[in-house]
Chains A and B, each alone.
Chain A
Amino acid sequence: MGDFWGPDLISDLPQSIIESILVRLPIRDAVRTSIFSSKWRYKWNSITKIVVDEKCVPPSNDRTINEKSLLKFVNQLLFLHQGPIHKFQITNSDLQSCPEIDQWILFLSRNDLKELVLELGEGEWFRIPSCLFNCQKLIRLELFRCELEPPLTFKGFMCLKTLILHQVLISPEAIETLISSCPLLESLSLSYFDSLALTIHAPKLRSLYLEGEFRDLCLEDTPLLVDISVAMYMTDDIAEHFEQSSSCNFTRFLGGVPNLERLAGHIYFTKYLSIGNDPGKLPVTYRNLETVELYQVSFEDMKEILVVLRLITSSPNLKELQISGSSNIPTATDAPDLDFWSKECPSDCTLKQLKVVKLTDMCGVPHEMELIKFLLANSPVLETMSIVPCMYVMESQLKMLIELVRFRRASARAEIVFVRD
C-alpha cells in the first residue's frame, strides 16, 4: 500500500497520547482501531480504562442474547488485553449475576485495579467475590445491587477515597468496619439501606450522601466533613423507636462537623434531628456553612421549627436557604405558640450574608409566616426571597400575601417573589 496521501499523521505519536485518545473513545471504537493499519493492531491493547455500557454490543430485543454477546465481548476483551487496567466499569442492565463476572474481578484484582463500578441489571444481586478485597490499590468503589461480605481477615482498602454503595446487602457491622478501615476515605454514599444504625468514623471524610431508612446516625469522627446530604425515610417502627430515645440527635449528627459548607436534608431528616433533648444554644458555630436546604419541614411541629432556628442562628455566614414545608392548610382553631420566636431567638441573630431564600410548599401556617417574618427582619443583604404557595385557592393565597406585606424588611434591596403557577 503506498502512502499516496503523504506521511502517516498519527501512528507515531507517543503511546501516552494514543492512550489519551483511545481512552476517550467508547470501548468498541477503541478496539476497532486495531484494523486501521498494521501499526494500530495492538495499540488498543494497553488501555487502562474499560467501560462496558449499553453501546458495547449490537442491541437486540432479547435480553439473553444481549447478555451472551456481552459476556463474550468482555471475555475476549480481557483475554486480549495487556497490561494494567485501572478503571473497569460495567453499566448494563442486560447483564445479570453470572460466574463470568467473578472471573473478571479475579483477573482485574491481579491487574492493579484502581476503580471499579458495577451496575448490573435488576435480577439476582451479584455476590462480590472475595478477590475484590485483595485490590489494595482500589481508589474508587461503586456498587449497585450487590452482596458484599468482607472476609474476616480484611484489613481495609488503604487507598480508597470514594465508596458508593447503592442497594447493597451488607451487614451493619461490616459496613461500619469497612468505613472505618479505609483511612483515606473522602466521599461516602450509601443508599437504600434498611433500618441501619450507623456510626461513622472517617477522619478524612469530606462528602457524605445518605439515603434510606436509618435507625440511628452518628458522626463520631468526621471533622473534615464539608458536604452532607441526607434523605431519610422512616417506617412506623423506627418512628416508635425514636419516641423512646432521649439522646439529642442534632448534636450526635451535626455536633462534630464545624467545617460544614453545605447541608441538605430531605423527607424526615428534620424530624430526625428534632428528636431528643433540646441542645439549647449549639456549642458549634458553622462558620463555613453557606447553603442549607431542608425539605419537608413540618411547621406544626415545634421541635422541627426549633431545629431550623438553631441551624440558622448558628450559621453566621449563611448565603442561601431553601426550605420546603409539609404542613396542612391551617384551620382557624390552631392556636400557635408565637412567643416561641422571641423566646428562642438569640439577641443578635443577624444573618449578615444571607442573599437568597427560597420557600416552597408554604401553606400559610402561622409558624411559616413567623419564619418569613424572622428572615426578613434579620437579613440586611437579602436580595431575593421567593415563595411558592402550596394552595391554589385564591382566597388563601390572598390571606398569605396580606400578612407578608406587613413584614418589616431589613434589606432595602429585597425582592419578594410570590410564585403562582
Chain B
Amino acid sequence: MSEAAMAVVKPEMKSYIWVQTVDGSLQQVEEEVAMFCPMICQERLQTGMGSSKNYAISLPQRVNPAIFGLILDYCRFHQAPGRSNKERKTFDEKFIRMDTKKLCELTSAADSLQLKPLVDLTSRALARIIEGKTPEEIREAFHLPDDLTEEEKLEPLRNMTDDPRIRLLNRLYARKRKELKERQKLKNVVVEEERVDDRSVDDLLSFINSVDGDTKGTKTSKNKKKNRRRKDHIKDPSSINTNENFNKGLNALPPLCHNGVANNVSEASTSNHLRMQNLATVSFSSKHEFVDGGDDDDLDPAMKEELDREVEDFARRLNSDWPERMQEILSLGQERRLVPISVNGNCSTQIYTGLDRR
C-alpha cells in the first residue's frame, strides 16, 4: 500500500515521525500523512513529540496497529492535493468495504484520532448496515446480547396493542418469568416477606372470581397461586384493577397481621364502603403497591409512569362499572359473617355490616 506514496521521482528526504501504538510497538510514518490526523498534529505541534524513537507519539488506546494502517491509507489518499471530488468519493466507497468488526474498530479509532471525515464515512456505513435489518440480524452482526425481557422489547412506540390491560398482562408475564428464574437460583431462601402482597391479592382474586371461596391461610404453594392468578387474569382482566384497590387497603396494614388480614379483608371485600373509599383514593400509591414487588424490572421512570398512568385511567374508567360489579360480589358474599374491622393507615376505612350503605 505504500508504493503510491513512496514512488518519488526524485529521492527526496521525506520527514517521518515516530508513533507508538497501545501494544508498545513503534513505527515510523510519513509526517505529512500522519499530520492529517488532528490528534497527531496537535500532539506534534504542542509537545514536539515524535521526532525520535524515544519520544514517539503515543496513539490512543483504541488504535491498534492494523487499524492504524488502514487509517494511514485513508490519510495518504486524502491529504494528497489535486484529487477531484469524484475520485475521493470512489476511494471512500471502496475503502469502506470491510467486515463489521473492522468497521467498528475503525470508527472508534478514527474518533479517538479526531479524524472527523473518516468518522462520518464510517458512521454512514454503519447506519447503512443497521437500516432495514431485523433485530436478530443486527444482534448477529454486532454480537449484541439478547438480554431484554419480552416485555421490555415491546417497542415503546408500537401502534397496535394500545390496550393497557394487555400491556399490564405482558408486564406481569415478564415479572413472573423473572421471579421464576430467581426461584430457581434461590431455592432454599424463603421469600415470603417480599411476596406478602401477592398472596393476599391472589386470595382476593380467587374469592372475587368465585373460583374457590376458600380464604385459607397464606402458606399455600406459591406456584399454584401464581398459576391461578394467571388464569384469573386471562379470564377477567378487569379484575386487575380490583386488585389495586384491595392492595391499597392491604398495604396500609402492618405486615405482621398478614395471616389474619387475608381473612378479614376478604370479608371486607364485601363492603361497599371500603370499596368506595378505595375508589376515591385510587391514586399514586396504587402504583407502588401493585408495581413494586420489591425488586422491580428496571423500567425507565418515564415509561413506568406512562404505563401506570394508563392503568390509573383505566381504573377510573372502570368506576362506572362498579355498581354492577358490586351487585355481583354482594350476591356472592351473602353467606359470609361480617366482622367489623377498622383499617389503619391512609385510607382509614371503616367496614360496616350491612350491605346497603353507599
Contact = CB atoms under 8 A, between A and B. Distances in A.
B140 interface: yes
Given A13-B107, A20-B120, A40-B144, A34 B156 contact: yes
B131 A36 contact: no
B187 to A, nearest CB: 23
A7 B148 CA distance: 17
Nearest to A65: B159
A37 interface: yes
Nearest to A14: B111
Interface string B135-155: 100111011111110001101
A1 interface: yes
Contact of B140 (A5, A22, A57): A5
Contacts of A348: none
Interface stretch (B75-83, B265-273, B298-306, B314-322): B298-306
B9 interface: no
Contacts of B135: 32, 35-36
B327 interface: no
Given A21-B127, A25-B127, A73 B157 contact: yes
Contacts of B302: 79-80
A72 B142 CA distance: 31
B168 interface: no
B101 interface: yes
Interface in B228-250: none
A87 B127 CA distance: 19
B42 interface: no
Interface in B107-143: 107-108, 111, 119-120, 123-124, 126-127, 130-132, 135, 138-140, 142-143
A25 B128 CA distance: 8
B111 A36 contact: no
B336 to A, nearest CB: 46
B281 interface: no
B104 interface: yes
A79 B306 contact: yes
B278 to A, nearest CB: 29
B153 to A, nearest CB: 5
B344 interface: no
B145 A37 contact: yes
A94 to B, nearest CB: 14
Nearest to A72: B159
Query: What bracket does the count of chain B residues touching chain A fall in?
Result: 35 or more
A226 B269 CA distance: 81
Interface residues of A, number: 42
Contacts of A13: 104, 107-108, 111
A248 B152 CA distance: 70
Contacts of A34: 155-156
A26 B128 CA distance: 10
Interface string A2-18: 11011111110110110
A32 B108 CA distance: 23
B144 A37 contact: yes
A42 interface: yes
B100 interface: yes
B143 A7 contact: yes
B131 A29 contact: yes
A38 B147 contact: yes
Interface in A31-55: 31-42
Contact of A21 (B126, B147, B148): B126
B101 A9 contact: yes
A13 B148 CA distance: 20
B131 A6 contact: no
A1 B123 contact: no
Contacts of A29: 130-132
A77 interface: yes
Given A17-B123, A33-B130, A1 B145 contact: yes
B152 A41 contact: yes
A9 B131 CA distance: 17
Interface in B262-316: 300, 302-303, 306
A24 interface: yes
Contacts of B131: 25-26, 29
A17 B132 CA distance: 20
Given A35-B155, A80-B302, A80-B303, A17 B148 contact: no
Contacts of A9: 100-101, 104, 142-143
Nearest to A12: B108
A42 B318 CA distance: 33
Nearest to B138: A36
Contacts of B300: 41-42
Contacts of A37: 139, 144-148
Given A31-B155, A34-B155, A77-B157, A21 B144 contact: no
Given A9-B100, A36-B138, A17 B157 contact: no
B63 to A, nearest CB: 14
A395 B155 CA distance: 71
A69 interface: yes
B129 to A, nearest CB: 9
Contacts of B132: 29
A41 B149 CA distance: 12
A41 B143 CA distance: 16
B217 to A, nearest CB: 39
A44 to B, nearest CB: 10
22 contacts: A1-B146, A8-B143, A8-B144, A11-B144, A14-B108, A16-B111, A17-B108, A17-B123, A21-B123, A24-B127, A33-B130, A33-B138, A36-B138, A36-B139, A36-B144, A37-B144, A38-B147, A38-B152, A41-B148, A73-B159, A76-B156, A77-B157
Interface of A: 1-3, 5-11, 13-14, 16-17, 20-22, 24-26, 29, 31-42, 57-58, 69, 72-73, 76-77, 79-80
A-B pairs, 8 with minimum CB distance:
A24-B127, A20-B123, A5-B143, A37-B144, A1-B145, A9-B104, A10-B142, A35-B153
Given A10-B104, A41-B152, 4 more contacts: A5-B140, A9-B101, A14-B108, A33-B138
